[in-house]
Structure 1
Amino acid sequence: MTVDVQVQTTIDMPVSAVASFASDPTNAPDWYTNITSVVWQTQPPVAVGSRMDFVAHFLGRRLAYTYEVVELEPQVRLVMRTADGPFPMETTYRWETVGHGSTRMTLRNRGNPAGFSRLAAPVMELAMRKATTKDLARLKTLLEAAHR
């Protein structure tokens, strides 16, 4: 079973500011509740081929995985993939201008769980939807508060 979760929010800031902050993996622990650390394997800034080690806690488990940036269209789209662990995943960020200088950010996570994770896929998908919705709300609050 494929897990595919897509959520979005509108942030009252220009695309350039939202994309700049959100596409920098160093900032991930600031707005992702479950991510506790990010360590660059390659030199910043983010580019196609960049690799970063992430540590997260999800559904009571510690997850360590390496993301590689596979697509980057600055201020439009960022795609990262991992083949590590029991849940290989692809994460996509999209940014688009809406209204008068606001940004619609879409966050999509999809993957094909293996082993035990495959059996828990429906629960995992619900938990991911809840977590990513909270993460985007946290990002919105963080950026809009800094913008005031």
Structure 2
Amino acid sequence: MVDVACSIVIQRPRAVVAGYAADPSNAPSWYSNIDSAVHRGGPPLGAGTLVDFGARFMGRELKYTYEFVDWVPGRRLVMRTAQGPFPMQTTYTWEDEGAATRMVLANTGEPAGFSKVAGFLMDPMMRRAMGKDLGKLKALLESGTADR
């Protein structure tokens, strides 16, 4: 079982951070391993939204679909996939921290196949990757680059 969570404080209002991070079309700009994210059916986002992702992980190309299973705009997003070698649940939460926002990114899942064999390596690899991704999100949002 993999259960990893990372958090970061971003010096932007919660509505800005949550709005940007929850929009699937922005995922390739801040997730280093995500190459594409296509929202099926278009906006609005909500429970039942399906997003097709193309990614790279551990040297492998992956295609999978996440379903939004819990959506509280500006507060929480929970999405799940049962596909691929690593069925996973990803949760974003956002909380006010003064004028800034604390974002928590959490991933839980049960590796299968090759990923199961490498399972003991997954926690530290995921924690490092998630920390870098949150750092990139922070840099984009605090620099105003995401506003363009």
Name the counterpart of 1:8. 7
For residues 19-50 of structure 1, the C-alpha deviation after alignment (integer angstroms, 9 at most, x for no partner) is 00000011000000000001122222321100
* Residue 124 of structure 2, aligned match among 120, 126, 145: 126
| Structure 1 segment 51-70 matched on structure 2, within 5 A | 51-70=50-69
State the distance in 1 between where 2:58 and 2:78 align. Answer: 24
Q: Which moved more, 1:36-45 or 1:70-79?
A: 36-45
CA RMSD of aligned residues (A): 1.3
User: In the alignment, residue 26 of structure 2 is paired with which amino acid?
Assistant: N
Shift of 1:58: 1.0
Instruction: Point out where structure 1 has 5 or more consecutive residues left out of the alignment.
Output: none
TM-score by structure 1 length? 0.95
What are the Cα deviations for residues 84-131 of structure 1, in whole angstroms up to 9, with x where unaligned? 0111000000000012x1000000011001122111111122111111
Structure 1 residue runs of 4 or more that deviate by more than 2 Å after TM superposition: none
Residue 46 in structure 1 maps to residue 45 in structure 2: yes
What pairs up with 1:1-148 in 2 under 5 angstroms? Answer: 2-99=1-98, 101-146=99-144
**Number of residues of Structure 1 aligned to a counterpart in Structure 2:** 146
Percent identity, aligned pairs only, is 53
> What is the TM-score normalised by the length of structure 2?
0.95
